[in-house]
Amino acid sequence: MTLKHAFKTAFTGLKTNKSRSALTVLGIVIGITSIIMIMSIGQGAQDLILSQIQGMGSKTIVIIPGRQAKTPSDFAQTLSNSLKEKDLAALQQKNNVPTLGQIMPVVIGAETLYYQGNTDQPTVFGATDLISQFFDIYPSQGNFFTDDDVKSHSEVAVIGSKVKDNLFGASNPMGETIKIKNRNFRIIGVLPSKGQVSFFNFDDSVIVPYTTAQNYLFGINYFNRIIVTADSENDINRTVDDITTTLRNSHNITDPSKDDFSIETQADLASRLSLITTILTLFLTAVAAISLVVGGIGIMNIMLVSVTERTREIGLRKSLGATGKNILFQFLLESVLLTGIGGIIGVILGTGFSFLISVILSKFLAVDWVFGFPITGAVIGILVSGIIGLIFGLYPARQAAQKSPIEALRYE
């Protein structure tokens, strides 16, 4: 029997019961569709996270208060107020951290804004004017506050585009006064619409001098973050070491295991988050692959039914000279074709759904979600679906090949 004739016979067998073949292959379609969607969305999430991290620049170093949580018992240590003004002053001394480029303390909170009966509750950032350089955000109207504003605790604010729309609509907010915690803040700048920047949505934010935020809004004397840059990428490790030594001296820490702060570089954060998203994607892919096993069992069951229904056909073909290997190959080919078609349909559906989801996420979450077609996943999906057909079709095919032609012809 030629290969061309074998394919023709296999397709004829599948077309004989179209509805049954379609329902049988459904499990494979669902499994491959799920795998393609998970891999595509997982890659999109990873790319988005990495782009957000890179938005702060490769030379950026973030100092976080509290011990880095390694066990559940360490979680309470992460909620710390360990970064104080004395630490900022120590880090600014050139002899402590010679390779430090720029430094900016940050405090973050949420407060309600009022303007002529309109209210909004954005994220409030307390920072210095360096925030524009760290996050590459510059006002489309007005300017950021100055160092003098920080030193004098000035009640000035730069608002995001969404805050502007919520409070002022089409009106010009420049020079207007908004009320935050019963204090009047004069608007000196408006940010353009930019969406997410390094995990922060500056469209829905208000930026004020950190001294003003600490004293008048949050009532705290510590920082939520201290962000610094190294002079160059080659100096990052040295800068981290010097920052660590300086903070330990400032906090009188002699045992490194007692550190009440942690330091993250952009490379560290990118590596950690990339690992997390990869593991999560693999786990979800493994869960989705269970449906392939279920689909394979369905294939085996239907092929056994098909062998029983076509017993007389098998007997007739054997009486005309077909060998057991011919029968085995025919039924195996039918099984592989069935699952292979399901794999191709699954790749097409998975790609379509993934693209649709990427468009929806980009539009409604205002993030730069890039659709990525997982070529490796598609190839593996089709190959795995074929292997599933081969494995689960082997037993029914052997049952067909071992049938006696005489007994098969007598079968009613």
Q: What is the pLDDT of residues 334-351, one digit of tens each?
A: 778 888 888 888 888 888
Give the confidence band of 77 by pLDDT, cuts at 50, 70, 90.
very low
If asked whether residues 225 and 280 sit together in one domain, one would say: no
Which pLDDT does position 31 carry in this prediction? Answer: 83
Q: Residue 407 pLDDT > 70, yes or no? A: no
Say if 64 falls within a structural domain. Answer: no
Instruction: Identify the pLDDT of residue 202.
Output: 87
Mean pLDDT for 78-96 is 85
Over residues 163-168, the mean pLDDT reads 93
pLDDT of residue 245: 92
Is residue 228 helix, strand or coil? strand
Same domain, 302 and 388: yes
C-alpha neighbours within 13 Å on the C-beta side of residue 297: 4
Q: What is the pLDDT of residue 75?
A: 40
Query: pLDDT, tens digit, for every residue of 228-275?
Result: 988 887 888 889 899 999 999 999 988 888 888 988 876 666 666 667
Domain count, the chain: 2
Q: Say if residue 221 is in the same domain as residue 107.
A: yes
pLDDT above 70 for 69: no
Range of the domain at 122: 100-231
Q: Which of 181, 211, 231 is the last residue of a domain?
A: 231
Which residues, other chains included, contact 93 with Cβ-Cβ below 8 Å and sequence gap of 6+?
Answer: none
Structure tokens at 126: 């307390």
What is the per-residue pLDDT across 104-137, written as a single tens digit (0 to 9) for each? Answer: 999 999 999 999 989 999 999 999 999 988 888 8
Round the average pLDDT of the chain to a whole number and report it.
80
* Residue at 74 is within a domain: no
Question: Of residues 398 and 251, which shows the higher confidence score?
Answer: 251
Residue 249 lies in a domain: no
pLDDT at 13 over 70: no
Q: Which residue has the higher pLDDT, 75 or 277?
A: 277
Q: Most confidently modeled of 65-79, 94-108, 252-266? A: 94-108
Q: Which of 44-53, 62-71, 300-309, 380-389 has the lowest mean pLDDT?
A: 44-53
The region of weakest confidence among 29-33, 54-58, 192-196, 258-262 is: 54-58
Report d(CA 43, CA 65) in Å as an integer. Answer: 31
Does residue 226 sit in the same domain as residue 276?
Answer: no
Q: What angle do CA 185, 219, 143 make, to 5 degrees?
A: 30
Question: Residue 29: is its pLDDT beyond 70?
Answer: yes
Q: What is the pLDDT of residue 78?
A: 45
318 lies in a domain? yes
Would you say 391 and 339 are in contact if contact means Cβ atoms under 8 Å apart? no
Q: Which of 7, 9, 4 lies closest to 320, judged by CA?
A: 9
Please check whether residue 257 lies inside any domain of the structure. no
**The pLDDT value given to residue 342:** 84
Residues in the chain: 412
Instruction: Look at residue 91 and tell me if it is in a domain.
Output: no
Mean pLDDT (whole number) for 55-71:
70
Q: Domain ends where: 202, 231, 260?
A: 231
Position 253 in a domain: no
pLDDT band at 71 (very low <50, low <70, confident <90, very high): very low
The reply to whether 31 and 118 lie within a common domain is: no
Residues 199 and 277 in one domain: no
394 and 276 within one domain: yes
Question: Where is the domain boundary, 213, 231, 249?
Answer: 231
Is residue 133 domain-shared with residue 11, that is, in the same domain?
no
Q: What is the pLDDT of residue 45?
A: 75
Return all residues near 157 (Cβ < 8 A) that are at least 6 apart: 178, 180, 185, 186, 187, 188, 206, 207, 208
Residues 197 and 323 placed together within one structural domain of the fold = no
279 and 168, same structural domain?
no
pLDDT above 60: residue 24 = yes
Judge if 206 and 278 occupy the same domain: no
Closest CA to 197 of 87, 272, 123, 97: 123
User: What confidence tier does 74 reach under pLDDT thresholds 50, 70, 90?
Assistant: very low
Band (pLDDT 50/70/90 cuts) for residue 26 is: confident
Q: Do β-strands 113-115 and 60-65 pair in parallel, antiparallel, or remain unpaired?
A: unpaired
Q: Judge if 220 and 310 occupy the same domain.
A: no
pLDDT score, position 156: 96
Token output for 306: 């098909």
Residue 238 resides in a domain: no
